[in-house]
Amino acid sequence: MKNPDITVYGIANCDTVKKARAWLTAQGLAHHFHDFKKLGVPADRLALWIDQAGWEKLLNRQGTTWRKLDPATQATARDAASASALMREHSSTIKRPVVEWRQGDRLQVSVGFDTASWQARAENGGFVG
């Protein structure tokens, strides 16, 4: 297996991000970490994630931040553009982790942590499908 260039985006104290990073380390897969709280959400990356994963998958409607938003603010997320604006303003509404698996010119994005799909990626140089 050729190791992909892996960038994990999330929040350092998020339990799912911690599990994901620990799993990568246990598999011997080096990765970069981009902390939303310290470094913000790169607008160009957010557009890419929405393009590859879809805004519906990327927007975390189960989290505490979403539940704390007033219903009028929640209702603004009705398409890719409006959801993007909401996620830029409230980075904790992005489902975590978002991972970019890159090898050369190829790039795939995954959202969330799932051991089985990540194992498949690890065995296939970061790519599935």
Which residues are catalytic, by number?
14
Q: How many Å apart are CA 103 and CA 92, to the nearest integer? A: 28
Q: How many Å apart are CA 7 and CA 99, to the nearest integer? A: 6
Are 27 and 121 in contact, with CB atoms under 8 Å apart?
no
Q: How many Å apart are CA 101 and CA 38, to the nearest integer? A: 22
Structure tokens at 50: 């929405």
DSSP 18: H
